[in-house]
Amino acid sequence: MKIVRRLLFVLHIFVGIGGMAGGLAAITNPVNPLGITVDVLKNSPFHNFLIPGIILFTIIGLGNVFSAVTLYFKSRFQGYISNVFSWALVIWIIVQCIMLNAIAFLHVLFFGIGFIEGILAIFILFEQRLFPVNIILNIWNKINNKMN
């Protein structure tokens, strides 16, 4: 389980730093962050990158750094926190692809990272036997006992 936590920690730090950097670029230059023009936003409700930048910086960036901190300090709620911000990344990528009407390599990469983070966070919930895992395991044990 140590390897799961370490891998999840590294992924959270990687995503968090990337999210904060990308978000900060969009906040400080909402018309042309990192060379991306506002033309790509034509199918989205946004006229510039300010609001997406704020979301990217706070939810994806700071959220993943916060998740890494809870892993480092072995918070009781780390499984929940990691799950929330891991699946937030997956949802962010899906929504971004829909709004941009495009899929790039980075979308696939970060979708995969978010998915892996989510699965690793579920492993932590299983290890800690927290809700909803405790219910699933109780049902599984009852089914197993009836079969034996």
**Predicted local confidence at residue 131, as pLDDT:** 76
What is the per-residue pLDDT across 109-120, written as a single tens digit (0 to 9) for each?
999 999 999 999
Q: Could you give the CA distance from residue 144 to residue 41 in angstroms, rounded to a whole number?
A: 53
pTM listed for this prediction = 0.88
**Predicted local confidence at residue 137, as pLDDT:** 81
Three-class SS of residue 130?
coil
- The two three-digit tokens of residue 89, written as one number: 């990344």
The CA angle 80-89-83, to the nearest 5 degrees, is 10
**Predicted local confidence at residue 120, as pLDDT:** 97
On whether the CB atoms of residues 123 and 4 are closer than 8 A, the answer is yes
- The two three-digit tokens of residue 135, written as one number: 């219910």
**Predicted local confidence at residue 130, as pLDDT:** 76
On whether the CB atoms of residues 71 and 86 are closer than 8 A, the answer is no
Average of per-residue pLDDT across 26-33: 97
Has residue 136 got a pLDDT over 90? no
